[in-house]
Amino acid sequence: MSDIADLYLIDLSLVDKFIKRRNIKKILLQAPDGLKPLLEKIIRHIKTSSPQIEIIVSAEPWYGSCMLSVNEVKILGADGIIHVGHNRYPWLYKDLGIPILYMPAYYLGKPSEELIDRIVETIKYRDIGIVASIQYIPYMNELISSLKLKGYNVYVGNPSNQWMEKGQILGCEYSAALNIQNKVEAFIVVSGGIFHALGLSLILREHKIYGLDPHREEVWEVSIYSDKILKIRYYKLYQLLRKGIRKAALITSPLLGQYRSSIIAYLKDLLEKNNIDYQVFSTTKVDKDRIASIDNAFSPDVFVVTSCPRLPIDDLSEYHKPVITPGELVMLLKKSVDKYIFPW
């Protein structure tokens, strides 16, 4: 077993119940790259408890449960999916057509005394909100108890939907923080790296946002990073305002949770009202090569990514033409750039 697999808790009894209840014969396993080492443990378990089952491991990156692919399931002939590392994506409007077991993997580490002391040294606000990505919900709950003992008033918000856990956020869904924003002065975002903390910092500009990485046991203020990102975003927006937009590429995805038909319909309407020519493009992968290919074929003035609002910000800001989010297009076309709109 790899070291990473030892760091996370998964409930293998769920696998047995799922296979039995759904009468699964061929199963597809999915996990984000960082949690793929956990799959070996699940494969060994299935081979022991249900040796007749055919197992296929999807090598796709699966960085969100928004990425479900009807095509992959149909072509491989799988009759069940075990999706490790996430719970159900809240805006999955269509059914994949086969049963899915969402199996969160919970980080087993606990906050150390040294980390709590570092938080006390760093965060002087008394009323704080805490949110976490799914892996760190148990860690967040431990942290809450420790911080209360240090005299903090700690608030945890409810998510916008029944599929997410209390205090849970995604890179594009921050209701658990937004629902308590009026009660707190600062937020701690518990997550690996800066991704989730940066997203919240782009939405709540009046609050202090602190990232907390449980693996490195580091806590830091996020505004230096979000200020830098916002400078880049506004540079692109002002560039477009100056030059104007004649032609736009709306990029969507054939992945189930990333096909946002209502956002596309809204943006199409907005573009038409502004007499802007547009074309909708579909691609599962949105990277520099895909953008360059669309650019080559259509030469738009702007690319609007409707599949995942993080891609323009986190991955594609260096492309020589503006690649923007739906929220940024709305800011431009409504000529209302004072308040930055994120995520949509």
Q: Which is nearer to ligand SF4, 43 or 194 (CB)?
A: 194
Residues 234-263 that bind ligand SF4 (CB under 6 A): 258
310 lines the binding site for ligand SF4 (CB under 6 A): yes
CB of 315 to ligand SF4, least distance (A): 11
How many residues belong to the site for ligand SF4 (CB under 6 A)?
9
Q: Give Cβ neighbours of residue 159 (< 8 Å, ≥ 6 apart).
A: 90, 165, 166, 167, 168, 169, 173, 175, 176
Tell me which of 63, 225, 234, 340 binds ligand SF4, using CB under 6 A.
Answer: 63
The span from the CA of 123 to the CA of 224, in Å, is 16
CB of 266 to ligand SF4, least distance (A): 17
Q: Which stretch binds ligand SF4 (CB under 6 A): 28-36, 164-172, 236-244, 280-288?
A: 164-172
Residue 137: CB atoms within 10 A of its CB come to 21
Tell me which of 27, 30, 46, 64 binds ligand SF4, using CB under 6 A.
Answer: 64
Q: Which stretch binds ligand SF4 (CB under 6 A): 4-12, 133-141, 142-150, 165-173?
A: 165-173
Q: Which is nearer to ligand SF4, 168 or 258 (CB)?
A: 258
172 lines the binding site for ligand SF4 (CB under 6 A): yes
Name the burial class of residue 257, with classes exposed (0-12), middle (13-18) and buried (19+) by CB atoms within 10 angstroms of its CB. Answer: buried
CB of 343 to ligand SF4, least distance (A): 7
CB of 90 to ligand SF4, least distance (A): 9
Instruction: Give the residue from 245, 280, 247 showing the smallest Cα distance to 265.
Output: 280
The span from the CA of 2 to the CA of 26, in Å, is 25
Long-range contacts of 262-265, Cβ-Cβ distance < 8 Å, separation of 24 or more: 263/306, 263/326, 263/344, 264/306
CB of 131 to ligand SF4, least distance (A): 14
Q: Give residue 79's identity as a one-letter amino acid code.
A: D
The span from the CA of 83 to the CA of 75, in Å, is 18
Instruction: Give the residue from 60, 143, 68 showing the smallest Cα distance to 102.
Output: 68
Q: Are strands 247-252 and 277-282 parallel, antiparallel or unpaired?
A: parallel
198 lines the binding site for ligand SF4 (CB under 6 A): no
134 lines the binding site for ligand SF4 (CB under 6 A): no
Q: Which stretch binds ligand SF4 (CB under 6 A): 52-60, 62-70, 153-161, 315-323?
A: 62-70
171 lines the binding site for ligand SF4 (CB under 6 A): yes
Q: Give residue 336's identity as a one-letter amino acid code.
A: S
Residues of the shown chain interacting with ligand SF4 in the complex, contacts defined by CB under 6 A: 63-64, 66, 170-172, 258, 308, 310
